Structure 1
Amino acid sequence: MTEVRVRTDPHPPAPRDAGLAARTSALAAESTSRHPRSPWPRRLRSVGKHVALVLLAVAMIYPLIWLLVSSIKPSELIFRDVSIIPTQVDLTNYTEGWNALLHPFGHYMLNSAIVVLGSLVGNLVACSMAAYAFARLEFRGRRVWFAIMLMSIMLPIHVVIVPQYVLFSQLGWINTFLPLIVPKLLATDAFFVFLMVQFFRGIPRELDEAARLDGCGHGRIYLRIMMPLAMPALATTAIFTFIWTWNDFFSQLIFLTNPDMYTAPIALRTFIDATGQSSWGPMFAMSIVSILPIFLVFLLGQKYLVKGIATTGIK
């Protein structure tokens, strides 16, 4: 028989891929040793971003700081000394401003609180019910009515204010709070309806089906399932309604002409007379007083506001 011998090489050649990887690693190590990465560019970019954000924040809050400082300055120094470090402190602007008008300024803040409370209840109840109907109920023309509702967002208030004034004047509602509260009970704020519709659409329909198996109708589903789950959207609606209604000047000026019915924004306007003269110190002081409720509401509700905006529209 013929013996076949197989020669084995104790050092077989390395695969081409392994050699290429080794050379690449060596070149990378050599490049790193020649040009080490420095953390300074990254740190400089971070510092630059923070400095820009701080400067932007200061620019945004400077008018508010100037208003606060001017409210404790004597009236003759408000525009003569525009620095934010007062040389003289005079707190009489607050006492004079509080009692400068026909009623104490608290009377006008109470009127604003009544309008805000009525608007809050109206938007939370009516807008949530309309949103539930658009999100869960099946009825003829639902998409058409939803499109009409969305188009109403684009209508400026100046277009509808004249027909509203004529209607409310015929009803005898001028110089009452009814023109400012009753429309909210009819879900006229389409923005909040759209906000809640997007939130309700993100709630699984399996919850509705499970509730129907337990014998729940639409009313109980709305009250016991939708409303507890929609707390972020409701909080967002409440905060925006409070801020917008408290700061509303145009509508309240149109429908409230009796000084006894003035709200805080209109009362601030009365510090300026027809000749352009103004008690700047008392007016700035009462402006700070009228801002405090908005600041407190935003401070306490910021968490719910961010959560409501972040979760709205998530499917």
Structure 2
Amino acid sequence: MLKSKLRYFLFHLIVGGFGILLLYPVIWLLISSFKVSEDIFVTVGSLIPSPFTFDNYTQGWEGFGGNSFGVFIKNTLIFVIFMLIGHLISCSLIAFGFARLKFFGRGFWFAIMIASLMLPYEVVMIPQYVIFSKLGWLNSLAPLVVPAYFGHPFFIFLLVQFIRTIPRELDEAAIIDGCSTFGVYRRIILPLITPALATTAIFTFYWTWDNLLGPVLYLNSPNKYTVSMALNMFLSNDSVSNWGAMFAMSIVTLIPVFGIFFLFQRYVVEGISTSGIKG
């Protein structure tokens, strides 16, 4: 009994130590947001702000270009919502087709889709920019949002694997009862793949919330900037960077990220683990 308790204590002590080590950058970021900007990198080893100030949060929330930081959060939320809707609808439909429908070249097109996962974004960045420029979509969310309504290879693969774990007998029973193919998708498949859809939504939120390259390419007006672009604007090559304000707003933007993770982490684990049961 004593040996078991000692092993239990040592295990949690080691895991807790690694946890603190991994969280140290976030802790340092949080504490530095209450320091005067000039002292942040002077007192790197000290975790106690002296003096303690809230001015960084006030200055950071004021934003720039006549737009408060709330405007950038609102823009990002709109961006996230459209991306969520696009990925959930398109990826679930395409995954249902690959997992349940039989059509000519299904294996070939599925292999092409999987191969596209290995294609770096930098390869398609310039052709996409040229296309969207000719369509007149620059300085709008359209170039960032519209591709989401044509599916995402990673999420399609995730959902295909999940749908394959659902017995086909459920589909056949629904068809016997008079369900159409779309009815099977809507009434049978969608309710049963909720964990995988939740995983898709959570990852979409994370990847969209901190997306910098896409908005930098297509958005030019400050009133349309996202939070990642706004944070980058606090840095300057010509004058003194406002590190305090940037750290303060970084903490503000981390709040929804941590909140989503702690609320829905069960769905992330369940969606990913179940999707890998069956190939």
TM-score range, shorter chain: over 0.9
1:147, distance to aligned residue in structure 2 (A):
0.2
2:221 to 243, 258, 281: 258
- State the partner residue of 1:74: 36
1:242 to 205, 217, 230: 205
Q: Alignment partner of 1:126: what SS? A: helix
Q: Which has the larger radius of gyration?
A: 1
Mapped pair 1:158 → 2:129: no
User: How far did 1:291 drift?
Assistant: 1.1
Partners of 1:312 and 1:85 in 2: how far apart?
A: 45
- Per-residue CA deviation, residues 126-169 of structure 1 (Å, 9 max, x unaligned), is 00000000000000000000000000001111111111000000
- 1:65 pairs, out of 18, 27, 52, with 27
Shift of residue 313 of structure 1?
Answer: 2.8
CA distance in 1, matches of 2:239, 2:112: 43
Q: Deviations over 1:50-79 (max 9, x none)?
A: 222122111111010111001111112211
Q: Deviation string for 1:202-255 (max 9, x for gaps)?
A: 000000000010111111000010000000000000000000100111111111
Q: Is the 8 A contact 1:127 1:192 kept in 2?
A: yes
Q: Point out the more displaced range, 133-142 or 275-284.
A: 275-284
Aligned to 1:138, what secondary structure does the other structure show?
coil
Aligned to 1:176: 140
CA contact (8 A) 1:202 1:313 kept: no
Q: What secondary structure, in the 3-state scheme, does the structure 2 residue paired with 1:185 have? A: helix
Q: How far is 1:302 from its partner?
A: 1.2
Residue in 1 that maps onto 2:163: 200
Give 5+ residue unaligned stretches, structure 1: 1-37
Using the size of structure 2 for normalisation, the TM-score is 0.95
- Of the structure 1 ranges 73-82 and 192-201, higher mean CA displacement relative to structure 2 is found in 73-82
**Residue in structure 1 matched with residue 196 of structure 2 by the alignment:** 233
Q: In structure 1, what residue type is equivalent to 2:159?
A: M
Partner amino acid, structure 2, of 1:191: F
SS in 1 for 2:124: helix
Q: Is the 8 A contact 1:116 1:245 kept in 2?
A: yes
Identify the residue that residue 112 of structure 1 maps to in structure 2: 76
From 217, 233, 238, the counterpart of 2:180? 217
The residue aligned with 1:16 is none
- Residue 46 of structure 1 and its aligned partner are, at CA, apart by 4.1
Instruction: Give the whole-Å Cα distance in 1 for the aligned partners of 2:6 and 2:262.
Output: 33
CA distance in 2, matches of 1:184, 1:283: 30
Q: Which has the higher contact order (CA 8 A, sep 6+)?
A: 2
CA distance in 1, matches of 2:62, 2:119: 39
C-alpha distance in structure 1 between counterparts of 2:113 and 2:38, whole Å: 51
Q: Which aligned pairs between 1:287-306 and structure 2 lie closer than 5 A? A: 287-306=250-269
> For residue 13 of structure 2, what is the aligned residue in structure 1?
51
Q: CA RMSD in A?
A: 1.4
The one-letter amino acid paired with 2:255 is L
Question: What's the CA shift for 1:314?
Answer: 2.5
- Give 1:35's aligned residue: none
In 1, Cα distance between equivalents of 2:10 and 2:115: 43
Deviates more, 1:292-301 or 1:264-273: 292-301
Instruction: Return 5+ residue gaps in structure 2 as ranges.
Output: none
Which residue identity lines up with residue 225 of structure 2 in the other structure? Y
Equivalenced residue count is 276
Q: 1:125 aligns with which of 89, 111, 121?
A: 89
Partners of 2:91 and 2:17 lie apart in 1 by 39
Structure 2 residue 52 is matched with structure 1 residue 89? yes
What is the SS of the residue equivalent to 2:58?
helix
**Which residue identity lines up with residue 207 of structure 1 in the other structure?**
L
TM-score scaled by structure 1? Answer: 0.84
Q: What is the aligned-residue identity percentage?
A: 50
Per the alignment, residue 237 of structure 2 pairs with 274
1:311 is aligned to 274
Aligned to 1:18: none
